[in-house]
Structure 1
Amino acid sequence: MRKSRSIVVNHTDTGTPSFFKTICKTDVINHVRDGYERWHNYAVYHNQDNGEKATKVLNEVIFDLLQEPVERLAELLHTMAGQYTELDMLVLQTIKDKSTINPKN
């Protein structure tokens, strides 16, 4: 059985006011909640219609994503790449990479 590694990321304080971080975290969490079903469908497609495997991949992607500094996530969330945000594009690309690189998740 393959064990997944968790990476602990230590980020230094950027001096961003705490109220701004709270607002950004809320925006990011709401975006993750709103995009989860769409991202899950994408993960199912890239995992040969295996819903259980897709859920595992997506949850791992979201966990890793939420380890990033909130300022970076907010920047990705508010930068558009066509009709999607850069945050969406990062999630979709990471799902694809994890599904392709680790076909036996």
Structure 2
Amino acid sequence: MADIEEALKEVCSEDPLDKINTNNQLVSIKLKDPLAEINIPNRIPYSIKDVKEFKEECQQLLSNGIIRESSSPHLAPAFYVENKDEVKRGKRRMDSDQLFRSKASTDASAIQKTSFNR
């Protein structure tokens, strides 16, 4: 098993901007109406652990250049997924509400195909 893990480290990285992960494809979301404000109510009860983890992960994504600060009027609640794969990996995965993607984008199914989740 250790041999497989070592071989994988040579061809893939946890850093999405690492050159070995590059496939020359950029992901963009085409909005139905870029000027229409879409806000999904956030009824998710966040724990202190969630808030701390959101801040740390967002700061890391900002510093790595994966996301940028925005003053967009669009927003969608985010939450952490912790299923068997995340437990095995030892790290929860941040995700956002699919309803927002469906309401705001022209082809919501394409967004799922190009998901940023690992």
Q: TM-score, normalised by structure 1?
A: 0.32
Higher helix residue share = 1
Larger radius of gyration: 2
Q: TM-score, normalised by structure 2?
A: 0.30
